[in-house]
């Protein structure tokens, strides 16, 4: 399995940012990892066109229903129609600012998987929860409640993103990352059986070119979810180049 390096542009990027997509697409085929870029929904179709099919493009959220009276929302089928191949779900900013529960995240992930999207399901503890020694309890609970039972390595990856590390420049120690990823791996195997063994577990939160090599070499780290450092193609590519080999044998590709 190849590592997955996913970029999350959040609410950044207008037409001008398509230059970065073109730069990424020009290099994406030379990488040892799979590269995925999730721009804002307004740029999806143009990013797909700009990528010329050489770079997978994804959404940042979707609704759990196929269609309906949900003003402002986007369905998984709409993402597929716009050319997306993946979708990020349950990002802590959605959980925090839009009050998304793990049950909603699970329903969204199911809808994404049914539509044929690779779903990236995010989990992670707050700083207060870590200080209280609750990080594993919180992440274990989010994982169990957010992952659809039919998740497998082809249609799902988990992103561990400690909330306090996002956009802060702070990261857990490599030991802390390894401990949490090992804990998530155990949880995946318990919840999903053999499908949980090969599922990629991405680390997210202040990943940048300067720390990517050591984070991506850490046990059970199957890739990264990158926010700020994905906005510039050069930085994002430097992170992607930190992946030098396969993390496992069977390579599911972002379809």
Binding site for ligand PGA (CB under 6 A): 8, 161, 166-167, 204-207, 225-229
- Whether the CB-CB separation of 204 and 160 falls below 8 Å is answered with yes
Q: What is the 3-state secondary structure (H, E, C) of 23-57?
A: HHHHHHCCCCCEEEEECCHHHHHHHHHHHCCCCEE
Ranked by CB distance to ligand PGA, the top (closest) residue is: 227
What's the rounded Cα separation, in Å, for the pair 9 and 189? Answer: 31
> In this complex, which beta carbon is closest to ligand PGA, that of residue 227 or of residue 252?
227
What's the rounded Cα separation, in Å, for the pair 234 and 240? Answer: 10
Burial of 179 (0-12, 13-18, 19+ CB in 10 A): middle
> Least distance from C-beta 193 to ligand PGA, angstroms?
28
Q: Which of 20, 125, 129, 161 is catalytic?
A: 161
> Least distance from C-beta 224 to ligand PGA, angstroms?
8
Is 63 labeled as catalytic in the residue annotation? no
What's the rounded Cα separation, in Å, for the pair 93 and 255? Answer: 26
> Least distance from C-beta 124 to ligand PGA, angstroms?
9
> In this complex, which beta carbon is closest to ligand PGA, that of residue 205 or of residue 252?
205
> In this complex, which beta carbon is closest to ligand PGA, that of residue 11 or of residue 69?
11
Is 161 labeled as catalytic in the residue annotation? yes
Q: Which of 34, 63, 91, 181 is catalytic?
A: 91
Residues that are catalytic: 91, 161
């Amino acid at each position: 399995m190849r590592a997955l390096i996913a970029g999350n542009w959040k609410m950044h990027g207008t037409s001008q940012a398509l230059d970065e997509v073109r730069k990424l697409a020009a290099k994406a085929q030379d990488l040892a990892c799979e590269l995925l870029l999730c721009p804002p929904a307004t740029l999806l179709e143009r990013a797909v066109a700009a990528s010329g099919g050489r770079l997978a493009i994804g959404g940042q959220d979707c609704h759990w229903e196929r269609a309906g009276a949900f003003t402002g929302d986007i369905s998984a089928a709409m993402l597929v129609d716009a050319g997306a191949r993946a979708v990020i779900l349950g990002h802590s900013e959605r959980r925090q600012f839009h009050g998304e529960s793990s049950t909603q995240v699970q329903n969204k992930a199911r809808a994404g998987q049914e539509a044929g999207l690779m779903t990236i399901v995010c989990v992670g503890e707050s700083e207060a929860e870590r200080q209280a020694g609750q990080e594993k309890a919180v992440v274990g609970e989010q994982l169990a409640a957010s992952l659809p039972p039919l998740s497998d390595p082809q249609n799902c990856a988990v992103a561990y993103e400690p909330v306090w590390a996002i956009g802060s420049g702070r990261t857990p120690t490599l030991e802390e990352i390894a401990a949490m990823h090992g804990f998530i791996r155990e949880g995946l195997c318990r919840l999903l059986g053999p499908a949980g063994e090969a599922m990629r577990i991405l680390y997210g939160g202040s990943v940048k070119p300067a720390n990517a090599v050591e984070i991506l070499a850490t046990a059970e780290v199957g890739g990264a979810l990158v926010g700020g450092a994905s906005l510039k193609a050069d930085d994002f590519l430097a992170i992607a180049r930190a992946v030098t080999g396969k993390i496992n044998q069977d390579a599911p590709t972002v379809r």
